[in-house]
Amino acid sequence: MKIVEAKGVTKRFMGAKVLDDVTLDIKIGEQIAMMGPNGAGKTTLVRAILGFYHLDGGRIRVDGYNPVKERVKVLEKISFIPQLPPPVKLSVSELLTFVQRSTGARKERIISQAEAMELDIEKHVEKPFFKLSGGMKQKLLIAIALARRSRLLVFDEPTANLDPKAREQFYGLLESLDYEHASIFITHRLEEVEGLVNRKIYMDLGKVVEDERI
């Protein structure tokens, strides 16, 4: 069962091809490590899957839907963690309200996911999100992403700010996900996700240069 279908995807920024004819299918059950040097186009590719960009060529479908034209249908199925925690000015409780109302993921579930990484959200509900520490932000983003129980998880270097213990807890949570899903982990540290993944994709200069299923 295909969740993502990308065919000949091309995207230019100011004349430069950042994605160059990328063709890629992702099936439910695939856990993908996406790697490649800085500037290879990894973030651009996942943003295109999320419908942020109008493509210069090719097409993307997520569960059969066009991410630009049917963004709500597409985003209902995707949990995304960005490369850098965004300095959201909403308070933690407002952010959780936004998530709950837009996705249906219960606040309690987010709170319990966060507890599994030893983040006590109740203590920080009134704080603006951007005033949390780097690691706390990241844990909260992870908790939100996991609580949504999405069929596609897109994590752009999710462990950058986590201490070693939190990393272990994070991978533990991923392993305990008990429903059918696919994941994309963008990472520069393969050894960390090696045990979790069953497919590795290498990108360079906007192309998929290696795609290996294990």
Partner 1 sequence: MKNIGLVAYLDIKESLRAKWFYVYAFVFGGLMGLFFISGITDSVVMGFTGLSRLLLVFIQVTIIILPIFILITTVKSISSDRESNVLEYMLSFPVSLKEYYWGKLIGRFATVFFPVIVALFVGVAWGLFKGGEMPWAMIFLYSALIFSICTVFLGIAFFISTIVKSHDIALGLSFTVWIILLAFIDVALIGLMMQNRISDDVILTIAMLNPLEAFRIGAIALFDPELTVIGPVAYYLLDSLGHTFLMLYAIFYPVVLGAFFAVFGYRAFKKRDLL
Ligand X SMILES: Nc1ncnc2c1ncn2[C@@H]1O[C@H](COP(=O)(O)OP(=O)(O)OP(=O)(O)O)[C@@H](O)[C@H]1O
DSSP H helices, 19-84, are 42-49, 71-75
- Does position 10 interact with Mg ion (CB under 5 A)? The reply is no
| Residue in the block written with tokens 């709170």 | 111
Instruction: Specify whether the backbone of 63 is left (phi greater than 0), alpha (psi in -120 to 50) or beta.
Output: left
- Does position 43 interact with Mg ion (CB under 5 A)? The reply is yes
CA 93, 95, 98, 103 dihedral sign is negative
- Binding mask 70-109 toward Mg ion (x if CB under 5 A, else -) reads -------------x--------------------------
DSSP strand pairing (57-62 vs 2-13): antiparallel
Q: Which is nearer to ligand X, 66 or 83 (CB)?
A: 83
- Does position 39 interact with ligand X (CB under 6 A)? The reply is yes
Concatenate the DSSP letters of all residues of 133-156 into one string.
-HHHHHHHHHHHHHHTT-SEEEEE
At its nearest, how many Å lie between Mg ion and the CB of residue 156? 6
- Does position 18 interact with ligand X (CB under 6 A)? The reply is yes
- Does position 71 interact with partner 1 (CB under 8 A)? The reply is yes
Q: Which amino acid appears at position 51 of this protein?
A: G
Segment 103-142, which members bind partner 1 (CB under 8 A)?
103, 128
- Does position 43 interact with ligand X (CB under 6 A)? The reply is yes
Binding test (CB under 6 A) with ligand X, winner from 9, 20, 32, 36:
36
- Does position 52 interact with ligand X (CB under 6 A)? The reply is no
